[in-house]
């Protein structure tokens, strides 16, 4: 049994990750198009370029952390470095100088991607090393999910509300970048400090070449299935989240502060429902919970097709509450299943490859979200969206409906067939029976 402070401290790291991911998912394309002045298709391409950079970094990062041995452990030195690099990148991203803003933005995105990799890859590797009890790991992921809910609250509620309150211009986004930097630095560095207590032991991995480890990962059917689920879910979530700004402003006729209220409702309900989803996972299994949450998400996403500027605020907030009920379940099940896959592989092979698993998972996460941003930008451009217009054409409005409802719902429905193919028996992952 791990001390509560370690479980809490590990979960705290997700606050910083969620602040970054959700704020950028909701506001980055809007910021690049409307404030920086980049066309939507090019803005999406810049985000995708930064994500493709992770192809070079994520897997080597996982391999490296599996082979790092310091008095701080194998993972925590990289978490500490991320706590310095990432906040600087966020300040840069939202404070471009006069002149060549595109080059500045690309440099900031690459720096942010580096910091995110430095933290996320070793961070995801830690729970399967901290405990061999699948239920304890689920509890750790539940704590993580609560902090993700708090970070999501910042990204989808506080951030748009703050930017809207400050007028939505460059200075408002500069303030947002500095605020994000402080929150991320505190979360990352506190995670490093709290997970450094005695009692955490990790296995020293065998020396296995990186190419052999990659082949092993690709041969793990449970992991490959989980990656395919991740691809469909993240494409849906990145496209849907990125389109919320455009949906609220140009279809519902609402401001950023209203979007912030919507985000607050979503995340509060998310946090309240987390114990319910934890109970579902324990009683019925994570696969069942994943199927249930994904199916519900598809239906609620399609309800955006019924929304227009005549929809009352309470109707929009009810939809936000429904998303809150569902989102926590999807997040909990997916991340807990990843820890089970890591543990199952170690039990069968005796080789610890958590860094490689986490690196692959993180790589898919970033590339998929980059592709989602590109799809969002391309559809907005193709539908005739004008970044300078206060009122959009009918074709542009139709494009917004496509990216907020039709594409995300279709991807979620596709993922249901993939989830059904996931067959890892988590009941066999007890504290005993190590290789």
pLDDT tens, 189-236?
999 988 875 444 444 445 555 566 667 677 788 888 988 998 999 899
pLDDT computed for residue 204 by the predictor: 47
Distance CA 239, CA 230 (A): 14
pLDDT computed for residue 434 by the predictor: 39
Q: Which stretches of the chain score pLDDT less than 50?
A: 198-205, 431-435
Question: Residue written as tokens 């192809």?
Answer: 55
pLDDT computed for residue 65 by the predictor: 75
Give the containing element (helix H, strand E) for 340.
helix 313-349
In sign, the C-alpha dihedral spanning 99, 102, 107, 111 is: positive
**CA R_g for the chain:** 21
Distance CA 33, CA 276 (A): 40
The token pair at 324 is: 């809150």
Residue 300 near residue 317, CB atoms below 8 Å = no
- The pTM score is 0.75
Residue 249: how many other CB atoms lie within 10 Å = 21
The residue ranges of every structural domain in the chain are 4-195+210-428
Helix (H, G, I), strand (E, B) or coil at 429: coil
Residue 52: how many other CB atoms lie within 10 Å = 14
Distance CA 285, CA 283 (A): 6
pLDDT computed for residue 201 by the predictor: 46
Residue 359 near residue 59, CB atoms below 8 Å = yes
The token pair at 398 is: 């139709």
- Residue 91 main-chain phi, psi, to 5 deg: -60, -45
pLDDT computed for residue 75 by the predictor: 81
pLDDT computed for residue 321 by the predictor: 95
Distance CA 206, CA 384 (A): 55
H helix and E strand count, the chain: 17, 0
Q: Tell me the Ramachandran region of residue 106: left when phi exceeds 0, alpha when psi lies from -120 to 50, beta otherwise.
A: alpha
Question: Residue written as tokens 């609402």?
Answer: 254
Helix (H, G, I), strand (E, B) or coil at 433: coil
pLDDT computed for residue 203 by the predictor: 46
The CATH number fitting domain 4-195+210-428, selected from 3.30.1370.60, 1.20.1250.20, 1.10.760.10, 3.40.50.970: 1.20.1250.20
Residue 329 near residue 292, CB atoms below 8 Å = yes
């Amino acid at each position: 049994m791990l001390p509560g402070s370690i479980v809490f401290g590990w979960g705290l790291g997700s606050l910083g990750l969620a602040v970054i991911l959700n704020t950028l998912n909701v506001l980055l394309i809007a910021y690049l198009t409307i404030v920086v002045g980049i066309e939507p298709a090019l803005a999406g391409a810049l985000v995708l370029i930064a994500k493709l950079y992770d192809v070079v970094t994520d897997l080597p990062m996982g391999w490296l952390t599996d082979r790092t041995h310091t008095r701080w452990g194998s993972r925590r030195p990289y978490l500490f470095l991320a706590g310095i690099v990432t906040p600087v990148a966020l300040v840069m991203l939202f404070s471009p100088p006069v002149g060549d803003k595109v080059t500045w933005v690309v440099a900031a995105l690459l720096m942010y991607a580096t910091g995110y990799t430095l933290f996320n890859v070793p961070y995801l590797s830690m729970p399967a090393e901290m405990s061999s009890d699948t239920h304890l790991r689920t509890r750790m992921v539940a704590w993580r999910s609560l902090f993700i809910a708090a970070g999501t609250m910042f990204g989808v509620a506080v951030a748009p509300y703050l930017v809207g309150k400050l007028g939505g211009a460059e200075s408002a986004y500069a303030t947002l970048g500095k605020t994000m930097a402080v929150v991320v630095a505190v979360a990352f560095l506190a995670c490093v400090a709290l997970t450094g207590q005695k009692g955490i032991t990790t296995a020293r991995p065998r020396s296995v070449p990186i190419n052999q480890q990659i082949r092993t990962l690709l041969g793990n059917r449970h992991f490959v299935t989980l990656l395919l689920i991740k691809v469909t879910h993240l494409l849906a979530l990145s496209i849907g989240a990125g389109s919320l700004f455009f949906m609220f402003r140009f279809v519902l006729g609402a401001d950023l502060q209203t979007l912030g209220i919507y985000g607050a409702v979503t995340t509060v309900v998310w946090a309240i429902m987390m114990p319910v989803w934890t109970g579902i996972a324990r009683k019925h299994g994570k696969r069942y919970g994943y199927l249930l949450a994904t199916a519900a998400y598809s239906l609620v996403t399609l309800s955006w097709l019924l929304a227009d500027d005549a929809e009352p605020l309470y109707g929009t907030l009810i939809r936000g509450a429904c998303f809150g009920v569902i989102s926590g379940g999807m997040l909990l099940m997916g991340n807990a299943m990843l820890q089970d896959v890591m543990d199952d592989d170690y039990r069968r092979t005796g080789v610890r490859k958590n860094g490689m698993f986490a690196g692959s998972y993180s790589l898919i996460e970033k590339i998929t979200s980059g592709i989602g941003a590109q799809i969002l930008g391309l559809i907005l451009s193709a539908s005739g969206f004008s970044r300078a217009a206060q009122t959009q054409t009918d074709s542009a409005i139709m494009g917004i409906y496509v990216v907020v409802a039709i594409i995300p719902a279709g991807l979620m429905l596709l993922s249901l067939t993939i989830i059904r193919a996931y067959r890892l028996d988590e009941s066999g992952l007890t504290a005993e029976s190590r290789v």
